Copies of this chain bind each other. A is one copy, B any other.
Amino acid sequence: MNKIRIGILGYGNLGRGVQLAIKQNPDMELVGVFTRRDPSSVEVNDPSVGVYLVDQAKDFQDKIDVMILCGGSAKDLPEQTPLFAQLFHTVDSYDTHALIPQFFAKVDEVAKVSKKVSVISVGWDPGLFSLNRLLGEVVLPQGNTYTFWGDGLSQGHSDAIRRLDGVKNGVQYTLPVKEAVERVRSGEQPSLSTREKHTRECFVVLKEDADKDQVEQQITTMPNYFEDYDTTVHFISEDELQKNHSGMPHGGFVIRSGESEANEKQLMEFSLKLESNPNFTSSVLVAYARAAYRLGESGQSGAKTIYDIPVGLLSLKTAEQLRSELL
Q: Which residues of A contact B (CB under 8 A)?
A: 17, 20-21, 23-25, 97, 100-101, 104, 121, 126, 128, 130-135, 137-142, 185, 247, 251, 260-262, 264-276, 279-280, 283-284, 287, 290, 305-312, 314-316, 319-320, 322-324, 326-327
Cα separation A260 to B283 with both chains bound (whole Å): 8
Query: Contact between A131 and B311 (Cβ–Cβ < 8 Å)?
Result: yes
- A275: chain B residues within 8 A (beta carbon): 260, 264-266
Assess the A308–B315 pair: CB atoms within 8 A: no
Q: Which residue of B lies closest to A25 (CB)?
A: B141
A42 → B minimal CB distance (Å)? 18
Shortest Cβ distance from A139 into B: residue: B283
The smallest beta-carbon distance between A182 and chain B, in angstroms, is 13
Chain B neighbourhood of A21, CB < 8 A: 260-261
Write the nearest CB–CB distance from A242 to chain B, whole angstroms: 18
Q: Are A327 and B130 in contact (CB under 8 A)?
A: yes
Residues of B contacting A322 with CB < 8 Å?
A: 134, 305, 307
Q: Which residues of B contact A265 (CB under 8 A)?
A: 275
A324 to B101, Cβ gap below 8 A?
Answer: yes
Shortest Cβ distance from residue A29 to the other chain B in the assembled complex, whole angstroms: 15
Q: Is the CB of B319 within 8 A of A311?
A: no
Q: Which residues of B contact A23 (CB under 8 A)?
A: 261
Given known pairs A21-B260, A327-B306, the reply for A274 and B266 (CB within 8 Å) is yes
Q: Which residues of B contact A104 (CB under 8 A)?
A: 323
A122 nearest in chain B by CB position: B327
CB atoms of A264 and B287 under 8 A apart: no
CA distance A140 to B24 in the complex (A): 8
Q: Contacts A23-B261, A324-B100 known; A308 to B312 CB distance under 8 Å?
A: yes
- In Å, the complex CA distance between A251 and B271 comes to 16
Residues in B with CB closer than 8 Å to A319 are 305, 307-308
Residues of B close to A142: CB separation below 8 A: 24
Q: What residues of chain B lie closer than 8 Å to A270, measured between beta carbons?
A: 132, 268-271
CB of B264 within 8 A of CB of A279, answer yes
**Do residues A276 and B261 form an inter-chain contact, with CB atoms below 8 A?**
no
A260 to B319, CA, bound (A): 26
CB distance from A300 to the nearest CB of B (A): 11
Whole-angstrom distance from the CB of A33 to the nearest CB of chain B? Answer: 16
**CB within 8 Å for A137 and B315 given contacts A97-B327, A121-B327, A327-B126:** yes
Tell me the bound Cα distance from A210 to B312 in angstroms: 52
Known interface pairs A315-B137, A327-B306; A264-B274 also in contact (CB < 8 Å): yes
Contact: B276 with A305, CB < 8 Å? no
Chain B nearest Cβ from A140, distance in angstroms? 6
Whether A315 lies near B138 (C-beta < 8 A) is yes
Q: List 15 A-B contacts (CB under 8 A).
A: A23-B261, A24-B141, A24-B142, A25-B141, A134-B311, A134-B312, A134-B315, A138-B314, A251-B267, A260-B280, A268-B270, A268-B271, A271-B271, A307-B310, A307-B319
A21 shortest CB reach to chain B, Å? 7
